[in-house]
Amino acid sequence: MSSQEELNLIKNCQNGNLSSFSDLYDSYLDKIYRFIYYRVSHKEIAEDLSSQTFLKALKAIDSADFSEKNFSAWLYRIAYNLVIDYYRSDKKEMSLEKVLDLSTKNNLTEEVDKKRKIELIKGAMKFLSQKQKDVLIMRVWDELSYKEISEISGDSEENCKVIFSRAVLKLKQNLPVDYFILLLILNILKN
């Protein structure tokens, strides 16, 4: 969906034609669901929080001002706040590493290698702050722009860029040499 089409749908909703919300839902459900799932690692909770996100959005779209913020960031922000509320009420810490156990990419054929890689990445991620992990995942997995990340997290765009770059550096520093050797061997084998 182009941004103009999206804008038209939002306008329709704000003019009282809420049936246009269905198209926005179709366009965003997968992304929002994934975004939540990466953070809660639980199907039912992800479903519940996704439902709440869209219900809140439906009720609030009428009064939201999209002249300065974009719809995508606004929707993610609702989801993000719900995730934070969930962890607050549950008195748990958000764990982004847990979701790595669910990795199911087919091109990693060797189960052992996959597990080893996951463990190494998980190990390196431990050196990152919660904020760094969050921004890293938003940028790489959720494919959000720095502007969007900034609107969701409440940090400035510049700050988000710095957080991301530091996260990458830290990962590089903390991934052991054998991780890169492992990747090299796998690449040679593949070729």
- What is the 3-state composition of the chain as percent helix, strand, coil, each rounded to the nearest 5? 75, 0, 25
> Site mask, other proteins, residues 128-157, x = CB under 8 A?
--------x--xxx-x--x-----------
Are 111 and 165 spatial neighbours (Cβ–Cβ below 8 Å)? no
Comparison of 77 and 122: residue with beta carbon closer to other proteins: 122
Compare residues 49 and 73 and give the one whose CB is closer to other proteins: 49
Could you say whether residue 107 binds other proteins (CB under 8 A)?
yes
CA distance 172 to 181: 13
Q: Which of 45, 64, 94, 121 binds other proteins (CB under 8 A)?
A: 121
Phi, psi of 144 (to 5 degrees): -95, 145
Taking CB under 8 A as the criterion, the residue among 84, 180, 181, 185 binding other proteins is 180
Choose, by CB under 8 A, the member of 1, 18, 84, 185 that binds other proteins. Answer: 18
Q: Report how many helices (DSSP H) and strands (DSSP E) the chain contains, helices first.
A: 9, 0
Alpha carbons 164 and 146: distance in angstroms, whole number:
9
Token pair belonging to 150: 């900034």
CB of 91 to other proteins, least distance (A): 25
Q: Which of 70, 118, 155, 159 binds other proteins (CB under 8 A)?
A: 118
| Position 5 contacts other proteins (CB under 8 A) | no
Instruction: Round to whole Å and give the CA distance between 56 and 82.
Output: 10
Q: Please state, in angstroms and rounded to a whole number, the distance separating the CA atoms of residues 47 and 49.
A: 6
**Contact by Cβ (8 Å): 128, 170:** yes
> Which positions touch other proteins (CB under 8 A)?
16, 18-19, 21-22, 25, 29-30, 33-34, 37-38, 43, 46-47, 50-51, 54-55, 58-59, 99-100, 102-105, 107-108, 117-118, 121, 136, 139-141, 143, 146, 161-162, 164-165, 168, 171-172, 175, 180, 183
